[in-house]
Amino acid sequence: MGAAIAGWVQGMATAGVGAVVGFLAAGRVGAAVGGALSGVVAIPFGRAVARGQPYQGPGGLRRCIVDATWSALNTWAGALFYGILRLRGNPLDVDRTRGRGSIWLVHGVVPRYATTIGMVKAGSNERIDRHEEVHVLQARLLGPLYLPLVAINYVIATLVPYWLLFSDRASYSVDSVAAYFERGVYPHVWHELWAYRVSRRHSS
């Protein structure tokens, strides 16, 4: 589909979600503020979609429609993520973005890990991309439910370490606060269990 149109559609979706989120938080004034602030990140994000052409090729139109409608909350979160990382000098990987259904930023946020929000991936590479692609798919499948379900699970896994009962418990030690999150909480939230299961199956 037309790259410029796709960029315009995703930019409009981003500004529109910002207005809705603002309205829910603070009525009409919130809608104006949320729409305007989201409009600021919608412009570079829309340009990234137009330049990178993630929706090129088979299935692209369908993904573009899903990202602007059912998954628009994830697109909005991804656009905010994209804007912040671009301001910090993280470049768009145009070659990897084209036709992949997601937007690639060259550098990661956390050392040794890639981070994916909505359809925006920071620091992915061909070795770990199957894992990150699961998160892109999860967002499209669950739409507006995805981020709340992820957030709820992080809170529960932090407060109630149910993961101590998992069968992989013997393979790692929790000897620091960092280990509590990196080995305990993080790999045992539902969307990471799913993504690691898929990536392990394909790597072994």
Between 23 and 190, CB nearer to Zn ion: 190
Site string for Zn ion, 137-176 (x = CB under 5 A): ----------------------------------------
Q: Which two tokens stand for residue 51?
A: 């330049």
7, two tokens: 């960029």
Alpha-carbon distance 142 to 36, whole Å? 27
**How many Cβ atoms sit within 10 Å of the Cβ of residue 92?**
20
Q: Which is nearer to Zn ion, 20 or 109 (CB)?
A: 109
State the alpha helices, DSSP H only, in the chain.
3-52, 60-68, 72-87, 94-97, 129-142, 146-159, 177-179, 190-203
Q: Which of 187, 195, 199, 200 binds Zn ion (CB under 5 A)?
A: 195
Give 127's contacts (C-beta < 8 A, 6+ positions apart).
Answer: none
The span from the CA of 186 to the CA of 203, in Å, is 20
Min dist CB 135 to Zn ion, Å, is 6
According to DSSP, the residues that pair with 92 across neighbouring strands are 105
Of 64-72, 149-157, 176-184, 191-199, the segment contacting Zn ion by CB under 5 A is 191-199
Question: By C-beta, is 8 or 180 nearer to Zn ion?
Answer: 180
- Measured from the CB atom, the residue of 100 and 121 that comes closer to Zn ion is 121
103 binds Zn ion (CB under 5 A): no
Q: Whole-number minimum distance, CB 134 to Zn ion, in Å?
A: 7
Residues 125, 101: contact at Cβ < 8 Å?
Answer: no
CA atoms within a 13 Å half-sphere pointing along the CA-CB vector of 186: 11
Total binding residues toward Zn ion, as defined by CB under 5 A: 2
Pick 93 or 192: Cβ nearer Zn ion: 192
| Interface with Zn ion (CB under 5 A) | 192, 195
